[in-house]
Amino acid sequence: MFTPLRGRSVIVTGSSKGIGRGIALRFGLAGCKLLIVSRKLEEAKAVAAEIVAAGGEARAFVADVTSQADMEAMALAAIDGFGTIDILCANAGIFPAAKLGAMTAADFDSVIGTNLKGTFLAVSACLPAMKAKKAGRIILTSSITGPVTGYPGWSHYGASKAGQLGFMRTAAIELAPFGITVNAVLPGNIATEGLAGLGEEYVRQMEASVPMRRLGSVTDIANAALFFASDEAAYITGQSLVIDGGQILPESLAALES
Ligand code: NAP
């Protein structure tokens, strides 16, 4: 039985939809206080309202993870609203596709700026509060794409997601003396608004390439984030957990089909 997380203060970046929304709803169910962060107020408010309607506590906050000032304001909003920051889920991310040759420097900067620099800015903003109380949990949403696999069109995305893990390993060493852990979830293909935007053919092919023959749910990822945030995971830091229905396991089509 895990120690209840009731009353913990949690920031989830990119929680207006998709995996971030799933993480926020799951922590809400666990009795945590949620700061729902995205660039769109109405969408963030709708998720906060869902959590409140289910008996939880949540506030919406508009911020862009590419802005240092926004991330610092986000951390202050959590402290003002909930007194502290116990848990940061650095989840906001984008995955536009562009193959090499067509990919522009601006495309590259945009993906790295949101997914990798955005992670750095969100973490940096929350550190003073976590260091002051010598406790904290940081959970990054990385991906199998980059750290483990590749996919045409996503060289910039893969670099950003692998970069998050490089960032995580040194951050975990630096922050361990402060009682702060840093871990990452590596989703496979998860049914979200963003993934649906890649088209039906992409979704169909992905379902066929997963041994469990289905996409993951946002709750599958949220449960792993909840584990990393738990008191029971206190001695786990700098680690990554693949949640992909076995997608990275088959070494060939024959292995998948037989
Ligand atoms: P999604 O459905 O498109 O949701 C993305 C979320 O991030 C939204 O809430 C969006 O809100 C927010 N966001 C994007 N850019 C932002 C910015 N600059 N500042 C603040 N918020 C921002 O995507 P998803 O599928 O849930 O993906 C979420 C995370 O999981 C990403 O890091 C992604 O790389 C990772 N991931 C997803 C999958 C998958 O299969 N879905 C697999 C592996 C990894 P606004 O647009 O309102 O700002």
Which ligand 1 atom minimizes the distance to the CA of 44? 47
Domain that holds residue 153: 9-244+252-257
Q: pTM of the predicted model, to two decimals?
A: 0.98
- Residue 163 falls inside a structural domain: yes
Marked catalytic residue, from 151, 157, 202, 235: 157
What is d(CA 46, CA 137) in angstroms, rounded to the nearest whole number? Answer: 26
Residues contacting residue 110 through CB under 8 Å, at least 6 positions apart: 94, 96
Q: Can you tell me the distance from the alpha carbon of 79 to that of 127, in angstroms, rounded to the nearest whole number? A: 12
Q: Given the CA of residue 39, which atom of ligand 1 is nearest to it? A: 48
State the helix-helix crossing angle for 18-29 and 218-229, rounded to 10 degrees.
Answer: 50
Main-chain dihedrals φ then ψ at residue 48, nearest 5 degrees: -60, -40
**In a domain? residue 30:** yes
Residue 143: CB within 6 Å of ligand 1?
yes
User: CA-CA distance, 105 to 92, in Å (whole number)?
Assistant: 21
Question: Does the beta carbon of 40 sit less than 6 angstroms from any atom of ligand 1?
Answer: yes
Closest ligand 1 atom to 92 CA: 7
Evaluate: CB of 198 within 6 angstroms of ligand 1. no
CB 101 within 8 A of CB 156: no
Structure tokens at 77: 């909003």
* 70, two tokens: 């926004």
* Ligand 1 center from residue 49 Cα (angstroms): 20
What pLDDT score was predicted for residue 258?
Answer: 78
Q: Say how many Å lie between the CA of residue 255 and the centre of ligand 1.
A: 32
Read off the CATH number of the domain in which 167 is found. 3.40.50.720
Q: Is residue 218 part of a domain?
A: yes
Question: 95 C-alpha to center of ligand 1: Å?
Answer: 8
In a domain, 126, yes or no: yes
61 lines ligand 1 (CB under 6 A): no
Query: In angstroms, how far is CA 122 from the centroid of its own chain?
Result: 11
User: Is residue 2 one of the residues assigned to a domain?
Assistant: no
In the chain, which stretches have pLDDT less than 50? Answer: none
If residue 156 lies in a helix (H) or strand (E), which one and from where to where?
A: helix 155-175
Domain count of the fold of the chain: 1
- Residue 157: active-site member: yes
Distance, CA 93 to ligand 1 centroid (Å)? 4
Smallest CA separation from ligand 1 atom 36, residue = 143
Beta bridge partners of 9: 33
CA distance 222 to 47: 15
Strand 240-243 to 87-90 pairing: unpaired
224 domain residue, yes or no? yes
The answer to whether the CB of 46 is under 6 A from ligand 1 is no
Residue 130 lies in a domain: yes
Q: What is the pLDDT of residue 241?
A: 98
Q: What CA–CA distance (Å, rounded) separates 68 from 73?
A: 9
Residue 194: closest CA among 34, 1, 17? 17
Q: Which atom of ligand 1 is nearest to the CA of 95?
A: 34
Query: Does residue 1 form part of some domain?
Result: no
- Report the alpha-carbon distance of residue 111 to residue 117 in Å, rounded: 9
pLDDT digits (tens, 9 = 90+) for 21-41: 999 999 999 999 999 999 999
First and final C-alpha spacing in the chain = 38
Calpha distance 57→140 (Å, rounded)? 22
Please, what is the angle between helix 118-133 and helix 155-175, to 10°? 20
Distance 170 CA to ligand 1 centre (A): 24
The predicted-structure confidence for 93-111, as pLDDT tens digits, reads as follows 999 999 999 999 999 999 9
What is residue 125's three-state secondary structure? helix
